Structure 1
């Protein structure tokens, strides 16, 4: 457990006056008794995450690096912002990596989609679509366009190796489609909201 040393603080008494309130809040968080407690899965995720799924993610990541010149990440909000922020923080905007990561599905811009399609026309592509339900409008529209592109470029059988769906464990439009088409799937936990999803398979 982390501890804060306040022995040299100028306002030590003022800081310590909050201790009782901090203890109350700590209890509410860890006992999950407060408002929104059904989305508190992030609190102990470092201990409770699915270790087998994490190993699958690492294996798929290696395959993507081996075969893809471009990884399309199709999602909006928490389904892409956390991963994008982490990538840009670590690598900067232009990393020069073998696999270029392009984010789609976060805008209605037909111009942007057309530009991406032109850019990836002659490149080896893998697509990761991220959506809990599969019905988020921007993401669903972009996925439809890029899935059609992938089907034409590779055929349905090869797409099983090139399309990944990060979605609900058991229900939703995207989960049903992924199961039907045989896409690799990863799970978005029910009890972790978008703001913390970067620590899950989403990120």
Structure 2
């Protein structure tokens, strides 16, 4: 668990002067009364996540890892950055004996897409396309290209087993396509924004594919949630760090 020592920090103001303000902000977040409260699903996510979906994520990842050298994570912004940060922090940049994770769908660079396509030519690969709407331009273009590659290599049925969609639970272009094609599909919660989505299927599926124990990750997140949910500024290192910044 991360701790904070400000004993040698040269602060211009007394942290105590922010105590009431921090408590007010804390209450607005946890009571969901402030602006943007409809996107606060992340606050208690380590405890209130969909247990059945996490079990399906683990099962899907375990099966797919057996026949996959490379996973293409096709998404942009928060749809891939959280997973990438977690995977690289835990596994490092070049882990051995793990499914290689390559990130696509976050750029218009045709050269980048061409290089990735050439690199995976002789490898077994799978795709995790991540988009709430399914209409994000960079992601849509990359997915279309690699979906065609996947179908050309494995056939429609084989590709169906290698493409996983993470998207809205009920609507959107990607949800419609995933239903029509019969892809395994995971849900992006309505009340969790992309920047906070690493503990949703957005992050958990790629992380599981990278060989990381997502049960332990969620347990650690739950421990952190409990530790850093104290409204008292003096007892909460996360709040103290925020004020010091």
Provide TM-score, normalisation by structure 1.
0.92
Structure 2 equivalent of residue 135 of structure 1 = 135
What displacement does 1:10 show?
11
Distance in 2 of aligned mates of 1:172 and 1:87: 28
Answer with 66-75 or 16-25: which moved more. 16-25
Structure 2 equivalent of residue 151 of structure 1 = 151
Distance in 2 of aligned mates of 1:104 and 1:41: 27
SS at match of 2:42: coil
Q: Which runs of 4+ in 1 moved over 6 A?
A: none
Equivalent pairs, count? 199
Unaligned 5+ segments in structure 1 are: none
What displacement does 1:156 show?
1.0
What displacement does 1:108 show?
0.6
* Deviations, residues 68-113 of structure 1 (Å, cap 9, x unaligned): 0111100010001111111111111111233111111011111111
Structure 2 equivalent of residue 80 of structure 1 = 80
Greater relative contact order, per chain length (Cα 8 Å cut-off, separation 6+): 2
**2:172 is aligned with 1:172:** yes
Matches within 5 A, 1:11-90: 14-90=14-90
Structure 1 equivalent of residue 223 of structure 2 = none
* Deviations, residues 175-197 of structure 1 (Å, cap 9, x unaligned): 00000000000011111111101
After superposition, the CA RMSD in angstroms is 2.2
What displacement does 1:159 show?
1.5
Unaligned 5+ segments in structure 2 are: 204-245
Structure 1 equivalent of residue 195 of structure 2 = 195
